[in-house]
Structure formats: structure tokens, C-alpha cells
Amino acid sequence: MSGYPSLVLRLLITFYTALAAAETSQTPLATAGYKVGQLIPVSCLNRTTDTGEHITENGQLSYIPFPPTGGCNETGRPLELVFGVEKDINCTIDFVDDPFFHLLEFYVHNDAPLTCRIPTRPLPPSALKEEYEEGTKDMTEGQGALSEVYTPMIVALTGTLQLSHLHVSTSLNVLVHAAPKSVAPGTIAAATAYSISREPPTRIVIGDALPLHFSVRWYPNTSLPSGWAGVGGHLTFSTLVYCLISAGASAAICLAYFRGVELPRRLKMHGKDRIGGMERGAGLGGYGIANGGGYGYGIGKRD
């Protein structure tokens, strides 16, 4: 009986040690969030080139780095975002091979979406290496929802299909929302990307290069600021203040011009007119000049 408490204590220690190890092995995220300037890898769903269906391994979805043809020509690495940094990123695919060309057909024709994802928080070194080199499986089994590990980023790649080639809109906007610092600092809340008609679409055939241009914008919370004033515009507080300041400045300029230039000029002209009138009145004969009593004395010649 004396050794019973020590045996129970050893069993409890062993149990909690095993439990902590299991939790550590099942947690793919680091506890700390992203720092400004930290790189974020982009991986996309692996699809077949004949039907566009997603590829699974052991019943789990398979993700591979984007682009799947060896990375961006500018960096030699897969596409990466930079946390909290708004910038334009160029990612040129040097050679569009036959499999990737058929995938572009699926993406442009909306037969299959270009489904990508980014880690919600920094991955540990082991998972990050796998993300860059080999791709990863869907890590949601036994580890919570997808949003706890990865944030989906659907890329709406637009263009037109032709019999022998493609037209692809290669300029894309990327919008990324970070969670508020007070809630989850350094955490990504949402992301999306879509083609824009900034320039004519690029004509692509097998063997061509595909230049992709990503304009990345970050938002510090999940709210999207309004940038549209509507047709004809709306009267906002900032517009009202601007109008009042402009009116005050215009009035001050007009007043300074009148008092400094126009008023002295008018006074000067008025003084000259009065002096000239007095001189003309003194030099003419035959006109009466009133005295103080109101009677006039003739200056002209008498008959």
C-alpha cells in the first residue's frame, strides 16, 4: 500500500506527458502570428489535366505550390505574399507546358476554380518545408476547421478560349484581410484574388511565357472600406470642409486685392476728379460764385 501513491503519481505524469506530446504533434501552427514583412507561401489545389478534378491522396485533398511549373521566374520560388506589405508582385511562368495549358483552359472557362490557400498563421519549419517543396494534404482531419490552419484564396482567373490559343487577363488584384490586433494579431482572416481589365489580355499558346501581375492590398480588419461615391457623387463631410475652406480662401484673396489694389486706385481717381473740377470752376468767366450769404456776384462783362 505504501507504493500505491507513487505508482498513481507516475501514471499521471506519463499520461499528461503523452497528452502534451500528442497535442504538440497535432498542432501545425506556431503560437505567434506573422510579423510585418514575413513571407507567406501560396499553394493551390492539385487537379488532373484531363478532367480538372481535384487529386486526393488517402482521401485527403492535395495542394501544391503555385505555380506548379517550377516557381516564378523573378524569384525562382513559388508565389509568396508579404504580410502587411502592399506591393505589386510579378510572377512569370517561363514555359506553359501542355498539362498546365489544359488547366488554364479549365480555370478561364470556369469549369474548375483555381482554388488556393495561404497559412492563417506561420507554419512550423517542418510543415513550411513541405509546403514549399512537396505540397501538403488537407490538414483539417483531427485539427479543427480549415480556417484555423489555412485561409482559402480563390483566384478568379478570367479570359477567353479559342480553338488554338487562350486569352488570359494576367493582371490581378489580391485582397487580404488580417484579423484585428486586439483579437488575433498577425493572423489572416480572409483573402481573394481576381483578374482585372487593366490592359488587353495576353495571348497564350503551349510553349509561351505567362506573365502574371499581382497587385496586393492589405486591410487591418474584416471591414472593406468604401471607395465608391456613386453616380454623381455624394456630399460628404470632407467635401463640405473642402468647399468651406476654398470659399474662405477665395474671399480672403478678393478682400486683400480690393483693399490693397482696387480701393487705393479708386480713391486716387476720385481725388484727381475733384481737383480737376475745382480748377475748371475757377478759370471760367460769366459764372457766379456764391458767397457765404447765398448771393452770387457776376464776374462777367456788364452791358
User: What are the tens digits of pLDDT across the range 41-81?
Assistant: 999 999 988 888 888 888 888 899 999 877 899 999 999 99
Res 97 pLDDT > 60? yes
Q: Quick one: pLDDT at residue 145? A: 46
Q: Quick one: pLDDT at residue 148? A: 64
More confident call, 72 vs 236: 72
Provide the CA 254 distance to its chain's centre, in angstroms: 42
Res 158 pLDDT > 60? yes
Highest mean pLDDT range out of 92-96, 231-235, 262-266, 290-294? 92-96
Res 296 pLDDT > 70? no
Would you call 143 exposed, middle or buried from its count of C-beta atoms within 10 A (0-12, 13-18, 19+)? middle
| pTM to 2 decimal places | 0.63
Ramachandran region of residue 58, left (φ > 0), alpha (ψ -120 to 50) or beta?
left
Burial 258-270 (b: 16+ CB within 10 A, else e): eeeeeeeeeeeee
CB atoms within 10 A of CB 102: 17
More confident call, 255 vs 141: 255
